[in-house]
Amino acid sequence: MGERRIDLSQSVQALCKAHPELIALLADMGFRDILKPGMLESAGRFMTIPKGAALKKLDMAHIKRQLTEQGFVVIDEEVVK
List the domain boundaries for the chain: 4-80
pLDDT at site 69: 96
Helices of type H across the chain: 12-18, 22-28, 49-56, 60-69, 77-80
Provide the Cα torsion 52, 54, 59, 62; round to 10°: 30
4-80 is classed CATH 1.10.3910.10: yes
- 81, pLDDT greater than 70: no
Question: Using an 8 Å Cβ cutoff, are 12 and 39 in contact?
Answer: no
Residues 81 and 42: their CA atoms lie apart, in Å, by 30
- pLDDT, mean of residues 64-69: 97
Q: Does the reported pTM lie above 0.85?
A: yes
Each residue's pLDDT tens digit, 2-48: 689 999 999 999 999 999 999 999 999 999 999 999 999 999 999 99
pLDDT at site 79: 47
- pLDDT, mean of residues 44-53: 97
